[in-house]
Amino acid sequence: MLTGREQETAFLENHYKRTGSQILVVYGQRGVGKTALLTSFTEKKQTLRYSAGNCSSREQQYLWGRELRSRGKEIAEYPSWRELLECMTIQKGETTADKKVLIIENFQYLLKGDTLFLQELIRFLKEKKEALLVILTTYASGWVENSMISKVGNLAFSVSGFLKVKELPFSAMRKIFSDYTVQESISLYATLGGLPGLWRLLYPQNSAEENLIRLLLQRNSFLPELMIKWLSEELRETAVYDTILATLADGRHGKLNDMYAHTGFSRAKISVYLKNLMELELVEKVLPGTYEICNAFVR
């Protein structure tokens, strides 16, 4: 079993064993280990996958159809959602009675425009004779927790469960990197958090200090650029967030009025952006303690 993911695996297995079709939403920030969890869970199961792109619904249908045709499937150039789901899950001459697993990654791109895909998915599962476990995954935790339900409305009642994949505990790092001393493990965990996606960047043959220097302190180090990339995918108007984060990090602007005078942004705008930062887990990886600092400003 995957280290540190016993509860999450049990949650998935429980829904897989239920009678009939199920829809699960599995979410968590980038690098937290969603892919590794689902890969382990589906190791001996018949699994179908599609990764949605950030594009219009028509372009999505075209790209999905093109991918299926590349696998030898017969489908129209611009298929409907129903045609895509049927082509994805139904194979001629298939005799297996085992429940299939359909994983759709980055599903937020399928719903942010409209809810037609989710409507068609629910209708398809109700009419389909064979049971199917559909797992919708996303790294957009803030969107799932704050916007998804209001977006899809009553369709949310057709979702069987939500699973937030959280960071692994310190004990998991100690188990995986058993050659490091406790002090070295503390240094690594304090910097990288419980994100196994970042742990894979470590060279176990190197000391913790050597790894941190390579990842953070050398010219053109990989980790700061990666954090900026991840933040830019989560946020709009990144220049505003960057300015506020830089002001927080500076430490000389301890009051809202000071931040207003320094940035030139209105007090109302600063408050809104601080609240947004409080909802974004990833910011903690860029500037540890951001939640507590933002909360002090907002209050």
- Please check whether residues 17 and 158 belong to one and the same domain: yes
pLDDT in the model for residue 79: 96
Q: Which of 149, 164, 179 is the last residue of a domain?
A: 164
Q: Are 231 and 206 in contact (CB under 8 A)?
A: no
- Please check whether residues 182 and 146 belong to one and the same domain: no
Report the amino acid identity of residue 21: S
Number of domains in the chain: 3
Q: Helix crossing, 267-279 with 256-263: angle to 10°?
A: 110
- Please check whether residues 55 and 95 belong to one and the same domain: yes
Q: Which of 164, 192, 211 is the last residue of a domain?
A: 164
Q: Which CATH number belongs to the domain containing residue 97 in this structure? A: 3.40.50.300
Mean pLDDT of 199-220: 89
pLDDT in the model for residue 278: 63
What Rg value do the Cα atoms of the chain yield, rounded?
22
- Please check whether residues 78 and 180 belong to one and the same domain: no
Average pLDDT score over the chain:
85
User: Quick check: is 98 in a domain?
Assistant: yes
- Please check whether residues 66 and 15 belong to one and the same domain: yes
Name the least confident of 190-204, 211-225, 260-274, 284-298.
284-298
- Please check whether residues 159 and 175 belong to one and the same domain: no
User: Quick check: is 213 in a domain?
Assistant: yes
Which phi and psi angles does 208 have, rounded to 5°? Answer: -60, -40
pLDDT in the model for residue 37: 95
User: pLDDT higher for 76 or 261?
Assistant: 76
Domain that holds residue 213: 171-222
Give Cα separations from 241 to 59, 185, 274 (angstroms): 31, 31, 9
Q: Among residues of the chain, what percentage have pLDDT more than 90?
A: 56
Q: In what order do the strands lie in the sheet with 47-51?
A: 47-51, 100-105, 132-138, 22-27, 161-164
Q: Are 135 and 22 in contact (CB under 8 A)?
A: no
Mean pLDDT of 77-97: 81
Q: Among residues of the chain, what percentage have pLDDT more than 70?
A: 87
pLDDT in the model for residue 281: 55
User: Quick check: is 1 in a domain?
Assistant: no
Q: How confident is the model at residue 11 (pLDDT cuts 50, 70, 90)?
A: very high
Using DSSP, state whether 225 is helix, strand or coil.
helix
- Please check whether residues 147 and 184 belong to one and the same domain: no
